[in-house]
Structure 1
C-alpha cells in the first residue's frame, strides 16, 4: 500500500504542473484554489477506494470483480457530486472546474486500474 501511495503522490505532483499551466495560460482563471483543491480530493478518494479494494480481495478473492465494479461506481458517483459542488462553489470558473475534474477522474481511474492489474498479474491471484 505504501508503494501505491507513493506512486499516486508522484502522479499528483506531476499533474499539478500541466494543471497550473492550463489554468494560467491556456484557460486563465482568477481563483485557482478550486482547481488545486481537487488534487487532495482525488488523492484521498483514490487511496481510500484502493485500500477498500485490497481488503475486499484479501477477504474474498472470488468477489473481487463485484467489489471492483462497486468501487468504481462509487468513485464515479462521488466524483459527480464533487463536480456539482465545485461548480456551485466556483460559478465564475464552472467550465474549467468541470473539465478539470473530468480529466482528473479519468487520469486517477486509469492509474488505479493499471496498478491493480499489475498487482493481480504479479501475485498470480486466483481472481480470474
Structure 2
C-alpha cells in the first residue's frame, strides 16, 4: 500500500505533476478505476535511488475531461491511451492519441473495463 498519495482536483493536476518533474521524479504509471458514476485516476512517481513511491489521485465524472500529462512526461502517452480506450477517460491534449485503437481492434468490446450498469451501462459491447 502506498501511503503518500495526495488527493487533488483535476484543475491542479498539471501543476502537481510539474512539481514531480522539477524534483527529477520518474513517472511510473497511472491506474484508473471505475467507481460507478466517477473514475478514479492515480498517477505514480518514484524518486531515485530507492523504491519509495508517491502518488496523485483525482476523481472525475465519466463525462469530464482531464488534462494530459504528456507535455510533462511523454512516457504517459501509453497509459493515457490505455485508460481512454479501456475506461473511456476523456484525456485532453495527449501528445500522441491512438484514437481508441492502441490496444483494441475494430471488433473489440467498447470500453471493456467499465462496470456494467443495469440501466444501459457503457461497459461491454
**TM bucket normalised to smaller:** under 0.3
TM-score w.r.t. structure 1 length? 0.27
More strand per residue: 1 or 2?
Answer: 2
More helix per residue: 1 or 2?
Answer: 1
Structure 1 or 2, whichever has the larger Rg, is 1
TM-score w.r.t. structure 2 length? 0.27
